[in-house]
Amino acid sequence: METRVLGTSEVKITPIIMGTWQAGKSMWVGIDDTEITNAIRAAYDAGITTFDTAEQYGEGHSEQILGAALADVRDKVAIASKVFANHLKYDRVIEACDRSLKNLKTDYLDLYQIHWPSGSFGSEVVPIEETMRALVELQDKGKIRAIGVSNFSVAQMEEAAQFGRIDSLQPPYSLFWRKIEKEEMPYCVKNKMSILAYSSLAQGLLTGKFGPNHQFAEGDHRSKNKLFSDKDNYARVQQALDKLRPIAEGKNCTLAQLALAWLIAQPNTQAIAGARKPEQALDNAKAAEIKLTDEDLKEIDAIGRIVTDPLKDDNRVLWNF
């Protein structure tokens, strides 16, 4: 698989990135450690060399699974993790990074990201200057190679950038959720920042596997997704999927692969895609091989707007947590 440069750093990333929120098990159901480990190795064997995790995913469990799975190929992969909103004071950032390094069985992170802005989820408000001071120090010591942010607005990125180089933004972004195209994407393009899109398949909606009457298992956080929980939104989703299916068939690919191929063709954008099983990881990797013409991209774009144009919610995230 081709690689791209992360922001202006020396880190090389693949356009398809494996996400490992599900490996933490918290807020997911039916997750098996062995199966997830096999999925991580399948992704690597298929050419995906970039993996995203966070200390918050199962309180380090995701990091531990990922670190063990990639220990023998550490020098051939790029690993990104995140520090949570309750650890943004200087000392806590340093401690959190060291904890993540231990979990991941490595002495450096290719990318270390602020998971949510200070104050999120009732966390203590910490000046961004203090958090960035810790991150820049970690970078100077070689413990992290690049600094990123997740779920930040343009104003928040502008403030953080006063105190150190920010090489990436990780926002929710997919064909069915396109809030960042208005402000955050133009900012990232202008400032040569990579976009690492999470929920790139709209939490599974773009796979087409959820029919009109789908009900989630107890404990599955996706029931809180606004595209699922609002019946009008969900009806538009089904309409758009029906229009996407013939395009996918024409490209001899799945709906999910088509959606990922569209996403990585957007400016500065890479797609984070999770997988529970090896075959899902292999399918995700194949999306990088799909060639879409300008006409294809325009047609897919227009279909996606069936879902996104009527959305009145200006909140950047998809959930009602």
Catalytic residues: 57
Question: What tokens does 268 get?
Answer: 């500065």
Question: What tokens does 90 get?
Answer: 């200087």
b/e string for 243-271 if b means 16 or more Cβ within 10 A?
ebeebbeeeebbbbbbbbbbbbbbebbbb
List CB contacts of 115: < 8 A, sequence separation 6 or more. 54, 55, 56, 82, 83, 84, 85, 150, 151
User: Is 47:22 a contact under the CB 8 Å cutoff?
Assistant: no
The DSSP bridge pattern shows strands 16-19 and 269-274 to be parallel
What is the Cα–Cα distance from 245 to 12, expressed in whole angstroms?
Answer: 33
> Which amino acid does the sequence have at 106?
T
> Which amino acid does the sequence have at 179?
K
